[in-house]
């Protein structure tokens, strides 16, 4: 099956009332782990690459691997997404490669660190939407700023500094026409999100619900959604790692989000922890090993297990065969005719 539009995946998820995990990849083993899990659970899936991932793997290697995944798994709808695009040029280059979806993260300036103004965000996101939709490609925007820093990307902080304002979310959706909207509700990237199990003072599910009530037809995106399970932390620490105690986003909060308009759930850190724990275990317990396959195979299996659990928890399991992929050219025609217009003033009618 060719790569599928992320918009179609999310529209189907909205119809079915489930969420779709968007899993970050940097290499072949991570792509294979996701596809193992998708096959096992019969799930549609979003695979995403950050700018750092594209640089690490070199664009062409990574994209050809995704094409191989699509060819080897004809029954699984796969959307290939640029995670946290920092500029029009980054998104344009992803589209040129064949990505079927891009995130224009205009919540930060092009440096990927400094929060931008609302007007700057609207302007650059609108420009990407015009360019991408003409080519049938999906666009995710972000309003509000996440906490933490990954690979140099992020404003830092706890995640509570720039919580999304629901009024601004409505104006942003109207003025940009994005297909999906990432919001900031107190989560941050990486392992260190919360210093205890989060409650409503730090994880603002009430804000998410307020936004969903104002934008019932908008696909919401939760970033920083790793749960950072204690079992995975423990494995890393048991075999020589030194993670400090930390808490992620509980699965039941993500499920509450999914009941309130969340259709895309971004997970990277949990997979990083799973792979690192598995690799550490081999190297710690069998120090004589030096064939990368001896530790990459268990690492891949550990990641597949996490991904398959998330696919079941988010509800996408079992939905791979629900629909026939719409060609990207047809998506472009749908945007042109206004059929796929998401602006709240239009979608409400």
Give which of Zn ion, ligand G3H, ligand 13P, none residue 151 binds (C-beta under 5 to 8 Å, depending on kind).
ligand G3H
Q: Measured from the CB atom, is 29 or 150 closer to ligand 13P? A: 150
* Burial letters 254-267, b for 16+ CB under 10 A, else e: bbebbebbbbbbbb
Give which of ligand G3H, Zn ion, ligand 13P, none residue 310 binds (C-beta under 5 to 8 Å, depending on kind).
none
Q: Measured from the CB atom, is 37 or 340 closer to ligand G3H? A: 37
Using CA atoms, how far apart are residues 54 and 60, in angstroms rounded to an integer?
Answer: 9
Count CA within 13 A, CB hemisphere, residue 70: 21
Using CA atoms, how far apart are residues 177 and 158, in angstroms rounded to an integer?
Answer: 29
Residues that bind ligand 13P (CB under 6 A): 24, 83-84, 189-190, 223-226, 266-269
81 binds ligand G3H (CB under 6 A): no
Number of CB atoms found within 10 A of residue 245's CB:
10
Residues 6 or more apart whose Cβ sits within 8 Å of residue 215: 169, 170, 173, 181, 261, 344
90 binds ligand G3H (CB under 6 A): no
309 binds ligand G3H (CB under 6 A): no
84 binds ligand G3H (CB under 6 A): yes
Residues 6 or more apart whose Cβ sits within 8 Å of residue 321: 42, 75
Give which of Zn ion, ligand G3H, ligand 13P, none residue 267 binds (C-beta under 5 to 8 Å, depending on kind).
ligand 13P
* Burial letters 213-232, b for 16+ CB under 10 A, else e: eebeebbbbbbbbbbbbeeb
Residue of 11, 83, 268, 270 with catalytic role: 83
Q: Measured from the CB atom, is 116 or 269 closer to ligand 13P? A: 269
Q: Least distance to ligand 13P from the beta carbon of 229, Å?
A: 12
Judged by CB under 6 A, the residue of 11, 142, 253, 268 near ligand G3H is 268
204 binds ligand G3H (CB under 6 A): no
Q: Which helix (H) or strand (E) holds 81?
A: strand 78-85
Q: Can you state the angle between helices 28-41 and 292-314, rounded to 10 degrees?
A: 40
Residue 46 has which token pair?
């979003």
Q: Measured from the CB atom, is 265 or 332 closer to ligand 13P? A: 265
Using CA atoms, how far apart are residues 287 and 318, in angstroms rounded to an integer?
Answer: 41
Q: Measured from the CB atom, is 52 or 250 closer to ligand G3H? A: 52
Kindly write out the interface string for residues 125-154 of this chain, putting x where it contacts ligand G3H by CB under 6 A and - elsewhere: -------------------------xx-x-
223 binds Zn ion (CB under 5 A): yes
- Residue 270 bears catalytic tag: no
Q: Least distance to Zn ion from the beta carbon of 339, Å?
A: 29
Residue ranges in 260-289 that form contacts with Zn ion under rule CB under 5 A: 266
Total of chain residues touching ligand G3H, rule CB under 6 A: 11
Residue in the structure block whose two tokens are 């992620």: 248
Residues belonging to the active site: 83
- List interacting residues with Zn ion (CB under 5 A): 223, 266
């Amino acid at each position: 099956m060719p790569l599928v539009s992320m918009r179609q995946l999310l529209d189907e998820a909205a119809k079915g009332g489930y969420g779709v995990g968007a899993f970050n990849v940097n290499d072949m083993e991570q792509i294979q782990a996701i596809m193992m899990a998708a096959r096992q659970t019969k799930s549609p899936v979003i695979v995403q690459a950050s700018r750092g991932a594209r640089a690490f793997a070199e664009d062409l290697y990574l994209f050809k691997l995704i094409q191989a995944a699509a060819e080897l798994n004809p029954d699984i709808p796969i959307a290939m997404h640029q995670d946290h695009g920092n500029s029009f040029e980054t998104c344009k280059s992803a589209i040129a490669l064949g990505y079927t979806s891009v995130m224009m993260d205009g919540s930060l300036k092009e440096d990927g660190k400094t929060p931008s103004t609302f007007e700057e965000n609207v302007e650059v996101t609108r420009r990407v939407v015009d360019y991408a939709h003409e080519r049938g490609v999906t666009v995710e925007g972000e309003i509000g700023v996440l906490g933490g820093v990954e690979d140099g990307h992020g404003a830092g902080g706890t995640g509570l500094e720039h919580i999304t304002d629901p009024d601004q979310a409505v104006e942003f959706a109207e003025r940009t026409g994005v297909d999906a909207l990432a919001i900031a509700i107190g989560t941050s990237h990486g392992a260190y999100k919360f210093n205890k199990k989060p409650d409503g003072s730090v994880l603002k599910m009430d804000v998410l619900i307020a936004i969903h009530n104002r934008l019932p037809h908008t696909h919401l995106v939760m970033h920083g959604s790793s749960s950072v399970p204690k079992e995975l932390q423990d494995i890393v620490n048991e075999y020589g790692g030194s993670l400090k105690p930390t808490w992620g986003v509980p699965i039941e909060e993500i499920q509450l989000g999914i009941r309130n308009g969340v259709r895309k759930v971004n997970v990277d850190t949990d997979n990083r922890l799973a792979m690192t724990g598995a690799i550490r275990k081999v190297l710690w317990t069998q120090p004589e090993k030096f064939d990368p396959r001896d530790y990459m195979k268990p690492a891949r299996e550990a990641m597949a297990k996490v991904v398959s659990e998330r696919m079941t928890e988010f509800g996408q399991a079992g939905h791979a065969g629900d629909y026939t992929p719409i060609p990207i050219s047809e998506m472009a025609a749908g945007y042109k005719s206004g059929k796929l217009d998401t602006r709240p003033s239009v979608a409400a009618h």
